Chains A and B, each alone.
Chain A
């Protein structure tokens, strides 16, 4: 068994384990495992205990599944290492729910929000002076797509009707072209579309520190948009690098076959670094920017709108997406029909892409 193959089996599992383990650290202190808590309760004993337990549990799960992935590598059908991430994620989700249940039980028993002034804050400057979508950062992705089209147009006529892909499958040459073009279109459209929607959605404003949190959210949105659009360009580059050997531009062997993975891995690292630096909604940015405006109370206890602590369902809220409850990102509002259409469209396109990938032998 080669070192490269073992690394290829273990790295994705370890990366997912590290991701799960780090999520509480980048989430706002007032949102503990999907449970909203008053700022003065953010360090309550039950929260500290559950955070510590979650770190240990997810670290053990990551290490355990990595060991399994390395052990089964080469002894099981090729699809086993691919699906091992599913039970790993499920186990991580289980750890999240255990912590959530215990914190929510103490919160409800001790009535943490009783007698507190719960508010929702909007900053009208978010609409009168809205953040701008960083169009220029879309250019690298478009440039890679243009380069792919140019290389494809040059190489395609000279290729035989059927080509043998890197995985050894014999497929029509059009299948590879369709997969690469559709894949690049998909990732570029999904990432830029998501950021466009987010730019028109509401910012995550903390009632306890409204003006400063709006400022931090602006900086977070700018940094995360750029990182996500760069990620789209890097995924497009990975897809191009996958296609080039099939289009007989170059041949790779041994460890060199991992080349197409490198841009994608760089994108994941970049996104992870930005998320770690900014935190959820910019909560880790500029710790000294506080108190620009007096507190407007504390954030409203909205746990009832978050099903299982992760899915937002609020029919009275016209928002399409809202800030994620756990980790960095956004979640659709399943109380809004348009959000269902958005999710269904994204999943359908992904399914189409997977079918295309199967047709292209990947």
Chain B
């Protein structure tokens, strides 16, 4: 998996690390059970502080996407084929999605453009339903 970040960008680096790993899981490039580099090694590879990577990994652990063990290291816990998410998580995600859509609407984006963007993103990710149809 290629993980790219913008160190001088407006998004915090730990958030970028978290986002790129979520995208890799969604695309099927990091399936459940696959290993991620240890925190120290990823920090060396990205040229950032250990704590920054640790923070990104910890976010993923809290979201249930990553398992962090002393011996096993960082392992992906869930992917598109792991079954439906917890109802609580879905409720939280729906709230965040509404905020994102509200931002687009507030900025003057048309509903057609929003749907087109969503469809493009969906086509990019390895949803179980999309895979079955293909």
- Chain A hits for B7, CB < 8 A: 118, 120, 300
CB-CB under 8 A for A293 and B2, given A126-B45, A127-B42, A319-B44: yes
> Does any Cβ of A come within 8 Å of B6's Cβ?
yes
Within 8 A of A (CB), among B40-65: 40-50
Interface string of A138-163 (1 = CB under 8 A from B): 00000000000000000000000000
Chain B residues near A346 (CB-CB < 8 A): none
Inter-subunit contact A318/B1 (CB<8 Å): no
B126 CB–A CB distance under 8 Å: no
**How far in angstroms is the closest Cβ of chain A from B37?**
4
Interface residue A331 (Cβ < 8 Å from any Cβ of B): no
Indicate which residue in A127, A207, A296, A300 contacts B45 across the interface (CB closer than 8 Å).
Answer: A127
Known: A119-B4, A211-B2. A202 touches B47 (CB 8 A): yes
Residue A2, interface by CB 8 Å: no
A318 CB contact (under 8 Å) in B4, B6, B36, B50: B50
> Which chain B positions have C-beta within 8 A of A124?
1-3, 36-37, 42
The answer for the CA separation of A124 and B40 in the assembled complex, in Å, is: 12
Residues of B within 8 A of A128 (CB): 34-37
How many CB-defined contacts (below 8 Å) exist between A and B?
78
Is B4 in contact with A120, judged by CB distance below 8 angstroms? Answer: yes
CB-defined contacts of B37 to chain A, threshold 8 Å: 122, 124, 126-128
Residues from chain A with Cβ under 8 Å of B1 in the complex: 123-125
Q: How many residues of A contact B (CB 8 A)?
A: 28
Interfacial residues of chain A within 51-66, with CB under 8 A of chain B in the complex: none
Most buried by B among A126, A203, A211: A126
Give the size range of B's interface with the partner.
20 to 34
Tell me whether A40 is interfacial, beta carbon within 8 Å: no
Residues of A within 8 A of B34 (CB): 128
Q: Which residue of A lies closest to B38 (CB)?
A: A127
Q: Which A residues between 310 and 324 are near B, CB-CB below 8 angstroms?
A: 314, 316-319
**Least distance between B5 CB and chain A CB atoms (Å):** 6
A296 and B4 in contact, given A202-B44, A318-B43 (Cβ under 8 angstroms):
yes
CB distance A127 to B2 under 8 Å?
Answer: no
Does A201 sit within 8 A of B, measured CB to CB?
Answer: yes
Chain A 88-119, CB-CB to B under 8 Å as 1, else 0, gives: 00000000000000000000000000000111
20 contacts between A and B (CB under 8 A): A118-B6, A119-B4, A119-B5, A120-B5, A120-B7, A121-B3, A122-B37, A122-B45, A122-B46, A123-B2, A124-B37, A126-B37, A126-B45, A127-B45, A128-B36, A128-B37, A210-B4, A296-B2, A318-B43, A318-B47
**Residue ranges of B at the interface with A (Cβ–Cβ < 8 Å):** 1-8, 34-38, 40-50
Known pairs A119-B4, A202-B45; list 15 more (Cβ under 8 Å).
A117-B6, A118-B8, A121-B2, A122-B3, A123-B3, A124-B1, A125-B1, A127-B37, A127-B42, A128-B37, A211-B2, A296-B2, A300-B6, A317-B48, A319-B44
